[in-house]
Chain A
Amino acid sequence: MKGERPRPVDGPAWEEWIRQAEDPARVADKPEALDDLLVLDLSLGHYGALLTATYLAELGAEVIKVEPPGGDPARRWGPADASVNGEGLAFLAEARNRYHITLDLGTAEGRRVLKGLAARADVLVEGYAPGHLDGLGLGYRQLRKINPRLVYVACSAWGQFGPKAKGQPAEYDLTDQALSGLLHITGAPESPPVKVGSWISAYAQAAWGSGATLAALHWRGQSGRGQMIDVTGAEALMRYLEYTLLLQHASGHTRERTGLYEIAVFPYTFVRAKDGWVFIAGYTDPNFGALCRIMDRPELTRDPRFNTTLQRTQLENEVQLRDEIQKWSVNHTADEILARVLADPGPGIVVFGPMNLPTRTLEEAHWWERGCFKRVSDPVYGELLLQMPAWRMTRTPPRLKWPCRPAGYHQDHVFQKYGGGVKKSLTRGVTGR
């Protein structure tokens, strides 16, 4: 019975079928998972909160971003040598699919309008200092009185509770990476720690924040009750650190930086090829066997330094093994090595690929065919190259509708829709548009 092949499914082969079912060109024909939700985005100067609302917006929620008169200071976040219409690229890249209004929450009228929106919203996302909106009468404990179904997501560096919650400074990606422990374990042991190049803690915070929001909405469907969610970028990343705490508890061993080496799995590293750096891995016995085969070094699988996973993860052996691999790899281009990897009949499989510069990644047909990137010609911001939603869903695919819009751009529309008409006092004095 072992190895018996099941009866094939009627219709096209899986790859063909799933390609059609996920066809990026047909996304607009399909419904959206979250298009029954209204989300208020109060992510002033907070990238993780901004992204939390972005994920929900990509999945179909109607997101209204509330900015102070003059706009969110995050609009100026971006590299020094490029911007579009004065918008920083970090903001322009991610503040997508939203309706933009401005409200001055420092005035009674601004707060009254916000409460009116919150009374009907399903979700509110904010990134102010903990307690700030509460101080304005707009925190969860006040808003739940007017809307007990509200899911209120608060993003901050140290969280809403715990001994260090009070008096905490602003949240930055670098300090989050430090608190998470990721910074300490990235880089070479003899050098200072190295941070991940993008604002990764904000992305992690948003993935947790929006995921927890959807779980809370599922529970609300049964209980009728909303709740508050507290997410820090530091803890969001810390949860991604595998065994770090348990290793400390179990053996007293503190996980340290190991550079291009790895205490858990090896080979799993970067080496030089003829035309640049490449990543190569084959750490289980069959996969290591495959690696030795494509290097024409079958004897390495019997070498007492390398013949078991335990031996291969001894640091001194790792150094020698990496040298052996690199002796071979420097004589081949990345394309040549990949061809060998793909031609290998098994058993085992080598994981291999080049270290791409972003502009090289953009030349790969794979990502374009799958719709990971899109060039849009936007009426406000012109020609933009944007990353697309990360997920594929056959029934309710996520999508990009429009990139960011200027502060207050949708003022009239939103007040028409939710305010029963446009009040001149709001569009001029209070909102400061």
Chain B
Amino acid sequence: MAIRKDYFEWAAREFNPARIHEKPEALRGIRVLDLSVIYFGPATADFLGELGAEVVKVEMPGQGDVTRILGNASFFWKNISVAFFCANHSKYHVGIDMHRAAGQELIRQLAARSDIVVENFKAGTLEEKFGIGYRQLREINPRLIYVANTGFGQWGPFSRGRASYDGLAQAVSGLTAITGAGDVPTKIGNYLGDWFGACMSALAALAALHWRDRTGEGQFVEMAQCEGLLRAMDWTWLYAGLTGRDRAKAGNGDHVFAPSGVYRCADGYVALVAGTDGEFKALCRFIGRPALAKDPRFETRDARRRKEHARALDLAIGAWCAGRSRAQVEARARKAGVAAAPVMTAKDQITDAHLRARRTVWEHHDPVYGPMVECGPAPKLSETPARIRWAGKPVGFHNEFVLKSILGLDDEQIRALYAEGAVGRWAEGRRGAGPPEGWKGEGVLQ
């Protein structure tokens, strides 16, 4: 049966991006207390926030999260690094010094009124150093879901004394060893271990919320970024267990599908895969090489993926792509039902009509930072669409609002907390922590 004529019009109405802000939010009423830094932690809270949770981000007064100053000079924009915003949308920013007893008490009070806590300190730090670990907070709030993200986990031989970044997770997991070709390792271009780990940890927090919805019970949830990448290596471990061998690097080829490759075009690169016999035959026709489809070297997927055969196909496809633009290749392949996609740059994406229509390229106007273009939420939900409400803010930007609206403190109590240093805002002159030049108090909530 064929696709109904009105399907795409119907889907466009169901997901109509113009109506996102009219629709409810899936996690409305869920409060997330974000005690984490850099990406693996803040992103977990951010993803829950995109789905509608209220996120309170706690930072050290003065300087705040180090991503505020990440990068070289090209990153600095409006007195802050652009690297900060991607994991810190729509949050309420409070500056609390957790080294101080009064600061720790504020965290306890916030945790008592929160559903989920997210942290990514080294294992045991919040309990032993600050008195606000899981065992302490669950006494105050037994319904609490406490999410801890680390490199290697809360326990086990590597958990003590070893810090981790995404790059390390790529290396020790074995993912680097199965990526690229040749001897020199390929560092994956983004902080994959942070983002994938954060996404997995948000998922686990939601599973814990489902359990809490059923029983009222909170729990401790942990995600280790190395273990996240281990888990995302498909058949690597099964293969090693059966054969005792390491999976060979395949470059841009694929052990399963052939042809599969990245080919140079007149204006960049294109990725193309023809994974089935039908797709392969269609490919041979549109590249003007129908005889290839009848060649015994290429008759079956098993034959096509033999190294020398796959190489021959790569040359044929590469020759056809060479004089064409990415768009021409994509259009011709699509017409034939073959998957081809331009290797997109940020410049391509930011003006892409499809990504804009889906609000994956998300343009918004922030009261402090003005017009922004960021990557919008990945999953599209028809009834409770995920969304960006505002951009990240300076350190302690919402101190008064949070302390009053959530904790019910009055101005005098808040002044005392400032005076003793338990609460603070950005340090004047500290790059990345404060508002842009010329800011006149826009966006402040008192």
Q: 1/0 per position for B109-135, CB-CB distance to A under 8 A?
A: 000000000000001100111110111
Q: Is A300's beta carbon under 8 Å from chain B? A: no
Contact check, A354 vs B66: say whether CB atoms are below 8 A apart: no
> Which 6 residue pairs of A and B lie closest in terms of their CB atoms, listed nearest first?
A385-B241, A6-B131, A185-B189, A240-B195, A214-B206, A178-B271
Looking at A14, A176, A239, A260, the one whose CB has the most chain B CB atoms below 10 A away is A239
CB-CB nearest in chain A for B218: A395
Q: Is B171's beta carbon under 8 Å from chain A? A: yes
Q: Which of A154-162, A323-331, A412-420 contacts B (4 or more CB under 8 A)?
A: A154-162
What's the Cα separation between A395 and B222 when bound, in Å? 12
Question: Which chain A residues numbered 1 to 57 have a C-beta less than 8 Å away from chain B?
Answer: 1-9, 11, 13-19, 21-22, 31, 33-34, 36, 47, 55
Contact check, A7 vs B127: say whether CB atoms are below 8 A apart: no
Shortest distance from the beta carbon of A48 to any chain B beta carbon, whole Å:
12
Known: A172-B257, A248-B347, A263-B72. A351 touches B374 (CB 8 A): no
Known: A135-B4, A242-B86, A392-B154. A160 touches B384 (CB 8 A): no
Q: Is A109's beta carbon under 8 Å from chain B? A: no
Question: Which chain A residues numbered 148 to 187 have a C-beta less than 8 Å away from chain B?
Answer: 157-187
29 CB contacts below 8 A, A to B, read A5-B128, A6-B128, A9-B136, A18-B220, A79-B256, A80-B306, A82-B242, A88-B235, A161-B14, A161-B15, A164-B354, A172-B339, A178-B262, A187-B180, A194-B186, A196-B179, A196-B188, A218-B206, A219-B26, A246-B374, A248-B373, A254-B346, A264-B75, A269-B167, A342-B161, A358-B174, A358-B247, A373-B237, A387-B231
Shortest distance from the beta carbon of A152 to any chain B beta carbon, whole Å:
9
Q: Is B406's beta carbon under 8 Å from chain A? A: no
CB-CB nearest in chain A for B333: A169
What's the Cα separation between A258 and B246 when bound, in Å? 27
Contact check, A181 vs B345: say whether CB atoms are below 8 A apart: yes
What's the Cα separation between A421 and B222 when bound, in Å? 42
**Contacting A89 at CB < 8 Å: which of B176, B239, B382?**
B239
What's the Cα separation between A22 and B206 when bound, in Å? 18
Question: Which chain B residues numbered 195 to 215 have a C-beta less than 8 Å away from chain A?
Answer: 195-196, 199-204, 206-211, 213-214
Contact check, B241 vs A161: say whether CB atoms are below 8 A apart: no
Given contacts A6-B104, A198-B233, A396-B211, 7 further A-B contacts (CB under 8 A): A78-B256, A134-B4, A157-B341, A216-B384, A244-B349, A383-B241, A393-B204
Contact check, A366 vs B8: say whether CB atoms are below 8 A apart: no
Question: Which chain B residues numbered 58 to 92 have a C-beta less than 8 Å away from chain A?
Answer: 66, 69-75, 77-78, 81-83, 85-86
Known: A268-B165, A366-B158. A169 touches B186 (CB 8 A): no
Q: Is A195's beta carbon under 8 Å from chain B? A: yes
**Contacting A246 at CB < 8 Å: which of B85, B128, B202, B273?**
B85
Q: Is B24's beta carbon under 8 Å from chain A? A: yes
Q: Is B266's beta carbon under 8 Å from chain A? A: no
Q: 1/0 per position for B363-390, CB-CB distance to A under 8 A?
A: 0000000011111011111111010000
**Contacting A395 at CB < 8 Å: which of B51, B78, B184, B211?**
B211
Contact check, B154 vs A242: say whether CB atoms are below 8 A apart: no
What's the Cα separation between A168 and B86 when bound, in Å? 29
Q: Is B93's beta carbon under 8 Å from chain A? A: no
Which residues of chain B are near A358, meaning CB under 8 Å?
174, 177-178, 233, 236-237, 240, 246-247
Which residues of chain A are near B394, meaning CB under 8 Å?
none
Known: A172-B275, A263-B72. A198 touches B236 (CB 8 A): yes
Q: Is A113's beta carbon under 8 Å from chain B? A: no
Question: Which chain B residues numbered 411 to 439 have a C-beta less than 8 Å away from chain A?
Answer: 420
Q: Is B361's beta carbon under 8 Å from chain A? A: yes
Which residues of chain B are near A361, meaning CB under 8 Å?
172-174, 230
Which residues of chain B are near A3, meaning CB under 8 Å?
99
Q: Is A192's beta carbon under 8 Å from chain B? A: yes
What's the Cα separation between A279 and B193 when bound, in Å? 14
Known: A82-B239, A204-B199. A175 touches B171 (CB 8 A): no
**Interface of chain B, main secondary structure:** mixed
**Contacting A391 at CB < 8 Å: which of B8, B123, B178, B200?**
B200
What's the Cα separation between A370 and B230 when bound, in Å? 13
Q: Which of A64-72, A90-98, A423-431 contacts B (4 or more CB under 8 A)?
A: A90-98
Known: A185-B189, A356-B177. A218 touches B171 (CB 8 A): no
Question: Which chain A residues numbered 82 to 108 have a C-beta less than 8 Å away from chain B?
Answer: 82, 84, 88-90, 92-94
CB-CB nearest in chain B for A170: B339
Which residues of chain A are near B251, meaning CB under 8 Å?
194
Contact check, B379 vs A231: say whether CB atoms are below 8 A apart: yes
Contact check, A211 vs B338: say whether CB atoms are below 8 A apart: no
Contact check, A351 vs B163: say whether CB atoms are below 8 A apart: yes
Q: Is B228's beta carbon under 8 Å from chain A? A: yes
Contact check, A387 vs B237: say whether CB atoms are below 8 A apart: yes
CB-CB nearest in chain B for A266: B72
Which residues of chain A are near B234, meaning CB under 8 Å?
47, 90, 93-94, 198-199
**Contacting B227 at CB < 8 Å: which of A194, A209, A370, A375?**
A370
Known: A33-B207, A34-B207. A356 touches B174 (CB 8 A): yes
Contact check, A78 vs B235: say whether CB atoms are below 8 A apart: yes
Q: Is A294's beta carbon under 8 Å from chain B? A: no
CB-CB nearest in chain A for B431: A310
Contact check, B343 vs A184: say whether CB atoms are below 8 A apart: yes
Contact check, A236 vs B378: say whether CB atoms are below 8 A apart: yes
What's the Cα separation between A192 and B318 when bound, in Å? 13
Which residues of chain A are near B158, meaning CB under 8 Å?
364, 366
Which residues of chain A are near B350, meaning CB under 8 Å?
245, 248-249
Looking at A187, A207, A383, the one whose CB has the most chain B CB atoms below 10 A away is A207
What's the Cα separation between A181 and B271 when bound, in Å? 12
Which residues of chain A are near B127, meaning CB under 8 Å?
9, 14
CB-CB nearest in chain B for A217: B210
Contact check, A352 vs B168: say whether CB atoms are below 8 A apart: yes
**Contacting B244 at CB < 8 Å: which of A36, A353, A359?**
A359
Q: Is A384's beta carbon under 8 Å from chain B? A: yes
Contact check, A200 vs B232: say whether CB atoms are below 8 A apart: yes
Contact check, B252 vs A33: say whether CB atoms are below 8 A apart: no
Contact check, B27 vs A179: say whether CB atoms are below 8 A apart: no
Q: 1/0 per position for B240-269, CB-CB distance to A under 8 A?
A: 111111110111101111001110100001
Contact check, A131 vs B7: say whether CB atoms are below 8 A apart: yes
Q: Is B39's beta carbon under 8 Å from chain A? A: yes
Known: A169-B333, A372-B227. A212 touches B386 (CB 8 A): yes
Q: Is A147's beta carbon under 8 Å from chain B? A: no
What's the Cα separation between A372 and B384 when bound, in Å? 35
Looking at B178, B360, B374, the one whose CB has the most chain A CB atoms below 10 A away is B360
Contact check, A249 vs B86: say whether CB atoms are below 8 A apart: no
What's the Cα separation between A325 and B81 when bound, in Å? 27
**Contacting B192 at CB < 8 Å: which of A168, A196, A354?**
A196
Q: Is B344's beta carbon under 8 Å from chain A? A: yes
Contact check, B72 vs A313: say whether CB atoms are below 8 A apart: yes
Known: A3-B99, A369-B156, A372-B227. A249 touches B372 (CB 8 A): yes
CB-CB nearest in chain A for B25: A219
Q: Is A130's beta carbon under 8 Å from chain B? A: yes
Contact check, A89 vs B235: say whether CB atoms are below 8 A apart: yes
Q: Is A126's beta carbon under 8 Å from chain B? A: no
CB-CB nearest in chain B for A251: B74
CB-CB nearest in chain B for A173: B254
Q: Is B187's beta carbon under 8 Å from chain A? A: yes
Which residues of chain A are near B124, meaning CB under 8 Å?
13-15
Which residues of chain B are near A278, meaning CB under 8 Å?
171
**Contacting B262 at CB < 8 Å: which of A8, A192, A353?**
A192
Shortest distance from the beta carbon of A164 to any chain B beta carbon, whole Å:
4
**Contacting A131 at CB < 8 Å: which of B3, B130, B270?**
B3
